[in-house]
Every structure is written in C-alpha cells, then in structure tokens.
Structure 1
Amino acid sequence: MEIRVEDLTVTVAGRQLVSDLRLRVPEGTVVGLVGPNGCGKSTTLRCVYRALRPSAGAVRLDGDDVWTLSARDSAQRVAALPQEQHMEFDFTAAEVVAMGRSPHKRAFERDTDADDELCARALRQVGVDHLAERGYLTLSGGERQRVLVARALAQQPKVLVLDEPTNHLDIRYQLEILALVREIGVTTLVALHDLNLAASACDLLYVLADGRVVADGAPHEVLTPELIAATFGVRAHIVPHPVSGAPQLLYSNATEPKGSPRCRDDVPS
C-alpha cells in the first residue's frame, strides 16, 4: 500500500507547524523523516494515522483520503506507534499485544486460537515472549517499547507509522527492531533522530526543517555535510559503513550557520 501526503498544512492556535508538505512512501519501502526537534515530524505522522486532522492538504492510502475511511477500516490498514503512550491499567504484556487484533473483530468477539498464535508470534519476533504474563506497568521503558511494537505487528497492518520506535532501546534492540521492520516488508513511515540508524534502515529520507521538506532522496544523496550543517548546526564527516556501505556520520561541534532554519515546537502528544 502506497502513502501519499499532498500539500499538507497544519495550523494550531494560529501557528503553522507544517507547511505545504509533500511526500510519497512507495509500497513495501521504509521511508524516514529526519530533522531537528520540533520540525514537524510527529505532526506529519499524526496526520497519517488520523490522530490530527490537517488544516489543508490530504493523506492518501492507495488513493483513498484517510479521512474518508471509517475508524475500523483505517485501523485495519494502518498501525501506529506514537512517541508517547499512556496506559492507566496494568494489563499484561500479552493483553496489550492482543489489543492489536481489535480492528479485525466485532464488538465483544472473543479471540480465536489464530488470534492467540498471531500475538504469541509477535511477542517472539520482538524478543519479549518471556514477559507475556508480566504487568505492562512493571516493565522497563525498553521492554514496554518492544511490547508496543509487537502490538502493531499483531494488528497485521498494510502500513506502519512509527514515531521514534527505538526510544528507550539499547543498541542491540534498536538494530533488531529496525531490521524486523525491513524484513516484514510492510510500507513504513518512520521518524528517527539518529541519522546513522536512518541511513542504514531507510530506503528514502525526507529532511524536515521549519515545517517543510528541505531535501529528499536516498540516504547517500541527502546526508551531505552541507545539509547537516545548515539543518542541524553541526559539522559532519560522511564515511561509508565498512559492511553495508550505508553513509555514516561522524560529528564535531560547529556554530550554527547564519540563516539556518529554526524549527517550531510540534503539537504536544
């Protein structure tokens, strides 16, 4: 399933957070949004998974405007992992993952053996099957994050929308989660702070600054010293990864260049 974002504009309390933003996520690819804090990444993702209605423009899934879909149809197509998740009740990890099956069931319909197997497989895929009966609120930040990724996988979506999915994860699980996303082959739009992870995990990158796209293309085309200096205010030396060949960035401090874009705060979660 292809994602198209067309001329997206979001204005909140008189402040324009995203302006005329356009991007495309071809079917089966992993596309990354990168940029400084507050540049519109989370705002854009919220519009894709219908948590925020844009002021103008459209988000389309295989041509269908997401706001013309029913909530159920949208949830069957798109699974989202927001940056902040709040849970009041201490469900077990297995119960949290089982929530991913809700879009595929009628009200009060019980889980089937097939549902149970899908959820168990999702827990195994992210390496937390041993935590299935643990209370979600007793888990560490990294364990909770993996449980939430498992919930998204159990949803069996055609599109994944991930906002900083590697938050709270140690380097092993950062690499494993992103490798898993690539392995399952679902169309994925992901916001990442770590440019080296983005370069290794994504087929295409869109760089946002001041609520607009300032560059897009393959990681080796986009991640240049000039763009890093102008957008992030640091010097970067770009070297190829010795195994994958993906561009990797080595940083040094730099004074923010004159005229570099400054970014607005995103909409609070």
Structure 2
Amino acid sequence: MDLRLDDLSVDLGGRRILRALTLDVPAGQVVGLVGPNGSGKSTALRCVYRALTPATGRVLVGEHDLTAMGLRDAARHVAALTQDSGSDLDFTVAELVALGRAPHLRGNQPLGARERELCRRAMERMEVSHLAERGVLELSGGERQRVLVARALVQEPRVLVLDEPTNHLDVRHQLDLLALLREVGVTVLVVLHDLNLAAAACDVVGVLGEGSLVAAGPPEKVLTEHTLREVFGVEATVVAHPLTGDTQLLYRLPSTKGPR
C-alpha cells in the first residue's frame, strides 16, 4: 500500500522543525530518510505513527488520511519501531512479541492458532526463539531490538516505519535486518544514519537538511559528492560496489590533505 507524506510541517518549541515535506513511498518499496542530526528525519516518522500531529499536511495510507482513522485501525495499517521502543515492564520475549497482535484482537481475547504461529515464525525469523521465556529487561540492546522487530512483523502492517533500526545490532544482524526489509513485501519507511547501508538497502533515498527535503530518488542519483558536501559537510568519493554495483561512499577525514 502506498504511503504519502503530503506537505508535512511540524512546529516544536516555537520552531518549525519540518518544512512542507512531500515524499511518496510506493507500495512494497523501501524508502530511506537520511540527513544530519536535527534535520527532521525522526520528526517525519513520528507523524506517520501518530506521535506528533503536523501543523500542516497529511499522512496518506493508500487514499486514507491516517490521522482521521481510529487508533486501532491505524495500528492495523502502520507498525513502528522507534528509538524509544523499549519496554519498562519485564514481559517475556514471547509476551512482548504477542503484543503485536493487539490491534487485531478485542479485549482479553486469547491468541488463536494463527496468532501463535505468526509469533513463532517472527521470532524464528529474527533469531530470538531461544529467548522466548527470557525477560525483556535481561536482554542486550541488540537482542531487544530484534525482539521489537519481531513484534512489528507480527502486527502484519501494510506500512512499516523504523527509526534507526540497526542501532545496537552487530554487523551481521544489521545486514540481515536490512535484507529482511526488502523481503517482507510491505511498504517501508526507514531512517538510517549509515549512508552505505541506506544505499544498499533502499530503493529510494530522501535527503533532509534543516527540515526540508533536499533530494529524493535512487541512491546513485541522490548520494552524490556534491550532496554529501553541501548537506553533510563531508568529503567523500562515490564508487560502485565491485560485486553488487550498489553505490558506496569512501569518506575522507577532515585532517587529510591528500593521498598518502
């Protein structure tokens, strides 16, 4: 299902944090938001999962205005993994993953066979099945992150939004998670700091600078040396990965005067 951020502006603390952001996330594609700290990436995501109400604009899922939906209906459409998704309550892993079914159940309705199978498959996919009876507060940051992704998958969303999902993950699990995003078949909007991961994992990259969309398009068209210099303030050489052809960035330290 298509996701559209339509002319979104957000004001916080008397300042305009996001300025007239319009971005299309086509059905089934992975679209990444990148930009310097404070550029408005997480703010845009908060509008999608309804933690913030925009000053102007709409978030459309298909033809429906997300802000006009009831919370339960919206949660059937959009699942979110946020930077503060941790649980302060010591659920077991199995209990926390099962909470992903809450938008689809009524009251204290118990999980049926289908729900239990969804949970089992999601935990297996994220390699956390062996943690099922462990308390969430006992887990490492990386283990907890994978559990939260499993919960989002169990929600069976049409749109998945993730804010820095590779935080706390080791390199293998970072790559596994980003590969998974391309396989799950839902519409994905993800914020990433690592531009090389964004280039490898995303169909489209949107670059934000000072709350505005600077550029959007395929990684090879957007992550240019000029954009990196103007938006991020870094010098880099853009190359193609020797095996995949994906855009990759080779950074130069500010103190480097030239080739060694």
Cα deviations by residue, 1:7-38 (Å, 9 ceiling, x for unpaired): 10000121100001110000000000000011
* 2:27 is equivalent to residue 27 of structure 1: yes
Aligned to 2:166: 166
* CA distance, structure 2, for counterparts of residue 122 and residue 234 of structure 1: 39
* 2:113 is equivalent to residue 103 of structure 1: no
Deviation at 1:108, TM superposition (A): 1.0
Q: Which amino acid aligns with 2:232?
A: F
Runs of 4 or more above 4 Å deviation: none
Aligned to 1:130: 130
Identity across aligned pairs (percent)? Answer: 57
State the secondary structure of the residue aligned to 2:89. Answer: coil
* CA distance, structure 2, for counterparts of residue 250 and residue 9 of structure 1: 34
* CA distance, structure 1, for counterparts of residue 78 and residue 215 of structure 2: 26
Deviation at 1:181, TM superposition (A): 1.1
Cα deviations by residue, 1:123-170 (Å, 9 ceiling, x for unpaired): 011111111111000000000000000000000111000000000000
* CA distance, structure 1, for counterparts of residue 86 and residue 167 of structure 2: 15
Structure 2: segments with no counterpart, 5+ residues: 256-260
* TM-score (normalised: structure 2): 0.96
* CA distance, structure 1, for counterparts of residue 169 and residue 88 of structure 2: 22
Kindly report which structure 2 residues correspond to 1:183-198, keeping only aligned pairs within 5 A, or say none.
183-198=183-198
Aligned to 1:78: 78
* CA distance, structure 2, for counterparts of residue 155 and residue 205 of structure 1: 25
Aligned to 1:115: 115
Q: Which amino acid aligns with 2:241?
A: H
* CA distance, structure 1, for counterparts of residue 31 and residue 64 of structure 2: 20
Aligned to 2:49: 49
Q: Which amino acid aligns with 1:187?
A: T
* CA distance, structure 2, for counterparts of residue 19 and residue 239 of structure 1: 32
Q: Which amino acid aligns with 1:241?
A: H
Equivalent pair of 1:233/1:254 in contact (CA under 8 Å): no
Structure 1: segments with no counterpart, 5+ residues: 256-269
State the secondary structure of the residue aligned to 1:23. Answer: strand
* CA distance, structure 1, for counterparts of residue 224 and residue 88 of structure 2: 44
* 2:11 is equivalent to residue 6 of structure 1: no
* TM-score (normalised: structure 1): 0.93
Equivalent pair of 1:17/1:40 in contact (CA under 8 Å): yes
State the secondary structure of the residue aligned to 1:167. Answer: coil
* CA distance, structure 1, for counterparts of residue 150 and residue 254 of structure 2: 40
Deviation at 1:85, TM superposition (A): 2.1
Q: Which amino acid aligns with 1:201?
A: A
State the secondary structure of the residue aligned to 1:97. Answer: helix
Kindly report which structure 2 residues correspond to 1:144-183, keeping only aligned pairs within 5 A, or say none.
144-183=144-183
Q: Which amino acid aligns with 2:246?
A: A
State the secondary structure of the residue aligned to 1:156. Answer: coil
Aligned to 1:69: 69
Q: Which amino acid aligns with 2:89?
A: F
Q: Which amino acid aligns with 2:10?
A: V
Question: How big is the alpha-carbon RMSD for the aligned residues of Structure 1 and Structure 2?
Answer: 0.9
Deviation at 1:114, TM superposition (A): 1.3
State the secondary structure of the residue aligned to 2:101. Answer: helix
Equivalent pair of 1:34/1:191 in contact (CA under 8 Å): yes
* CA distance, structure 2, for counterparts of residue 86 and residue 31 of structure 1: 24
